[in-house]
Structure 1
């Protein structure tokens, strides 16, 4: 393997590594973790650094998170071994006459990698479309209409703002107008927005009826949100 090819391979591997990190972050968010918590957990597992006992309870308390954690850690070990071997191979290929050029190429590759990573995380158009694509695949493969994936958008003391993808509409909400439902009286939840048909916004009022495939932005306690929209066995 030439040094140039080693740089290209290392760049490709690191780009894949960052994409894998973002993909698993989105998948963990679908299980009810905030983006910050999900990314911290994923980075901890991919880098094989582990997490504290308190943090680990977030993973071990959910069957789906345990499965995701196993796959994430497996990816982490594979990437760690591969990256170390590539770095060793790169330095073994260096020679005095070509070292400076290779170092410049390596720096350029790192800069390009940072730009791509920044675009993925900071440019709303890129991030939103990437998140939607991965979420769509994750919902189909992980949940298979068994329960409604929850993504936490914000935390306000004991309440949260969450986005729920309705894949399995609760029986008590089927063909029921919101004014006749028990969302407020029994669960103290407030539906803020309904997204339907390619994320078109539906005006929320008493006559609104939730449908399968809707995305619902809701405010209230996470415990009550799960109580209404999530089958308890799916989080064991």
Structure 2
């Protein structure tokens, strides 16, 4: 009986994980990211990774996350209580089977393409009605197409951009699908006259554009940044 309970409980947990993976996927989150974050939230471990910002910065995902976190805490209490009831021979297998059947039924319903389309439409409608642009995560604002990219470029002593302006370093920049959003210099963010501002060692440039163009135009500085960060055991460069 104990083994049966543990098997059914695992089936319920796996079904719940897949249910929330589907729901997060319908909000635009990648499957692999969704599954890791769902497990992290359910178990209360690992949710402090950088990818958690994709959930915390999205209003619909935050609501799903709240339900999942509460379920994780509740399910732990249930298994402890159920084991105690097993020991006292007070729990009926029928009750567990009903719970498992309900969760599996929900999972199978969510796998239906028609249901997925309806839910995706409902999520998008809620976003349009209740969410301001400033409330959305960066990925949902800027990275709507696969070819879009945001690059946080750190400038080092040997970078080719040092002591140059963007206008000098990137010829015909007005014709390229590449935009410098701001230059961060210490605690100051420079937003005016960006293309005529001389770049210093230690600056950070936030650049938006087509990935192929950004990587082609700035490949030397990106390589220098990656090498410096690797040698100093810093996190890899931020290319979204």
Query: Structure 2 length normalisation: TM-score?
Result: 0.40
Higher relative contact order (CA 8 A, sep 6+): 1
- Between Structure 1 and Structure 2, whose CA radius of gyration is higher? 2
Query: Structure 1 length normalisation: TM-score?
Result: 0.40
